[in-house]
Structure 1
């Protein structure tokens, strides 16, 4: 069973509803979830907030947080996940912000991705994964897989 089908099965059995907040993946996580028939049972909505302005307007990310930490940070991933949870009918939300490449900097290299996982009644979790620089498509695909794995793990899978 693929990750999205596993997520669907687990979320359905636990009565969970999912939301996504995506930056550089541009909706790929939501697309992976909704690729599976029956996704409407467990998927509420996805926010594609590529720009900082969209993160502020759609998810309530603080401009001060963006200024202090930059868009690719655990602080922003946390606020994205919490914003998606608050602005949806979901019980579980995943957020992703990162640098797919090409490019990056000494302080924020290509392949750095920050994830946030917000759940009703539980503390928000954040983590950073360094995927390296295998290329834009590969970083995005690895990020989708990791986000799905985070959701599956949060549901006890």
Structure 2
């Protein structure tokens, strides 16, 4: 079963769908496509890998997927809902509730421990401090990082 939204077919089996995504930088002769006619479908629980040479659009794609940037044209569907008309505020709320982003470079708050850094988004989402710390500790344990809970970012390497 598919659903048609703005003449675009979406599947209820997909968590994320990108249809004909273009991201253009520059104007006129300086115009450059970071993404051109890009399509992607991601099912719930599915892992994907994005690979490519330098400058091919990987970071641009990730920024669009994480609602940090918007496509120049095309449709981004999240749970069959088109997101192109969403306000910046609504996208920020979606990002805080539905999208997890791990940056290539550390983007940790240097005055907080690893445990506190992991718990912080949960606290911002309204989870109590105690529950957020417990959940963050469980998450770190799942990644075999429980020994780093009380480290500060400057104490981490690699």
**TM-score, scaled to structure 2:** 0.24
RCO (CA 8 Å, sep 6+): is it higher in 1 or 2? 1
Which protein has the larger Cα radius of gyration, Structure 1 or Structure 2? 2
TM-score (norm 1): 0.24
